[in-house]
Structure 1
Amino acid sequence: MNESNEDVYDIDTASVPRGDGIRDLTLTDRWNTPLGKPNGGYILATMLRGLGEELGGGDPLVASISYLASPETGAAELRTRSLRMGRRVQTGTASLWEGERHVAEMTASFGDRAGGETRELGSPPALRPPAGCIDPREHGAPGGGLFDRVDYRIDQVPGFFVGKPSGDPTMTAWQRLRDGREIDFPALALLCDSFVPPVVELGEGFNSMTVQLTVHLHRRPCPGWVATRLTTRHVVNGFHEEDCELWDEDGNLVAQSRQLGILL
């Protein structure tokens, strides 16, 4: 039986409580990168969902994850711990283990979003509507794994796709979960780390792997596509930063992130 993307996302980010803050889960190959490893955003979404269920608090507000070892598909264990259950903000940690391997460590805060001032000082990327954009899979983008789970639309074909990197490590794209599955907060965290790293536009040898990633989750997006802006401005001693902004189709900033990557 073929599963819809909605089923796949729910199944693949689920974990089962064992007691004492420990949860069992399985990392699948359905979110693998072209390197054959589970995508870092997928790992973050799974850990964020499991920790949120353990804390029983509000919506996730911020999460910071360090990737400690290369993940493998298969059985894993999530070890969670509450740090503080405040009136407005609840904070905890989650550790991902595969056997004796400590794969990732995350700290996240959850809270109630009701009330408070909202003021937007930025603007979304200037993209054509998704229907008028290009499906990158028709222009050499890889398939399988993550690229079968997330839909992408781009304004123009990036230079590195055709062997001519532009030299400008900036990318914009529309993203959504395949089959139009509703984007919840863990999925927003996933989409902060689900597109090609813009540093590849600097040329050969400029691929990367995430070392640390922090996401700020502002609001649930309206139904539809999510506009994505990715930039790298600093490459130092083989490491680089990558900034991401996610905007919904109503022009609201829904999430943003910064990560430290290491060049491969």
Structure 2
Amino acid sequence: MSTRFDRDTEVREIGEEAAPQFGERAFASRIDRGWWVVRGPNGGYVAAIVLKALAASVDADRAPRSLTVHYTAPPEEGPVRVETRVERVGRSLTTVAGRMLQGDRVLALALGAFSKPRRGPSFDHARMPAVAPPEDCQPFRGLIPMNARYEYRHAIGALPGSGADIACIGGWIRCAEPRLADAPLVAAITDAWPPACFAPARSAEEMGPVPTVDLTIHFRRDLPLAQAAPDDFHLAVFRSRFAEQGFVEEDGEVWSRDGRLLAQSRQLAVIG
């Protein structure tokens, strides 16, 4: 049974009636207002749609390893088109480019890397932050439409508007409707919490729109995990260290409940 996330990120390949201007293949999707933040849809939601189109353009046995999306204009509610072009197919790595459009208006540019598992040295020095389990954490309810698409449990850092000394925020998160955390959902989660730069804010005026300029996601495991359940919570943690000249960076991590690092993200956003 499909969830709202599945329906709102669905991509459908379209034929010659919409011949790609940029690439080799074209996919139709639709931007839904239920994922709105302030001036447009959430960047993670847009990344999930783009990722689905890129993934449909490569061999199914090659999983996403890296995705970078540059956001050039805010989409409006309604139909969009994602055009893709395979730039190179190597023995183990496929590089594919894409762009999202509404009419002739370019909304996003993307580049993805897909690969089979490779043999190589293995180590794991990453440690999930020590936090209380989701059952012991307070629910967080945001004020924007996108917040209704997820269930949040605040577990780390400060809440928006707390006047905190450190720009850090995060906690447990899962879809409002039970759904396995595959790569598109994890991509969306990397931009699903309020910006970390809201934690040091002391007033609503300091928490205006923070549109994403670019978002890079590194997928560190094949998703969904083999033993995953649709109602699993995942820990998402976000930190910002430097805001200057109207821009702020944000680093993110997404963890499974048992402490496995699923994805790392970094984005640059406009602030103020």
With the length of structure 1 as denominator, give the TM-score of the two structures: 0.90
| Cα pair distance change 1:202/1:23, threshold 3 Å | same
Q: Is the 8 A contact 1:176 1:225 kept in 2?
A: yes
Retained in 1: the 8 A contact 2:156–2:237?
Answer: no
Q: How many residues align?
A: 253
C-alpha spacing 1:22/1:250, structure 2 compared with 1 (3 Å): same
Matched-pair identity in %:
28
Residue pair 1:134, 1:156 contacting (<8 A) in 2 also: no
Q: 1:149 maps to which residue?
A: 149
Where do 5+ consecutive residues of structure 1 fail to align? none
The one-letter amino acid of 1:126's match is A
Change (3 A) 1:102 1:91: same
Alignment of 1:238 with 2:238, yes or no, is no
1:44–1:189 Cα contact (<8 Å) kept: yes
1:84 matched to 2:88: yes
Structure 1 residue 100 displacement after superposition:
2.1
Contact 2:157–2:170 (8 Å) recurs in 1:
no
Shift in Å, 1:14: 1.2
Amino acid at match of 1:149: R
Unaligned runs of 5+ in 2: 16-23
Change in Cα spacing, 1:232 to 1:80, as seen in structure 2 (3 Å) is: same
**Equivalent pair of 1:136/1:157 in contact (CA under 8 Å):** no
Change (3 A) 1:151 1:97: same
C-alpha distance in structure 1 between counterparts of 2:113 and 2:191, whole Å:
19
SS at match of 1:148: helix
Task: Find the aligned partners of 1:261 and 1:230 in 2 and give their Cα distance.
Answer: 13
Conservation of the 8 A alpha-carbon contact between 1:125 and 1:172: no
Alpha-carbon shift at residue 129 of structure 1 (Å): 0.4
1:9 and 2:9 aligned: no
3-state SS of paired residue (2:56): helix
Counterpart code for 1:154 = H
| Residue of structure 1 equivalent to 2:192 | 194
Is the CA contact 2:162–2:200 (under 8 Å) kept in the aligned structure 1? no
Could you list the per-position Cα deviations for residues 12-38 of structure 1 after superposition, in whole angstroms to 9, with x for gaps in the alignment?
Answer: 1111112440111111112111x1521
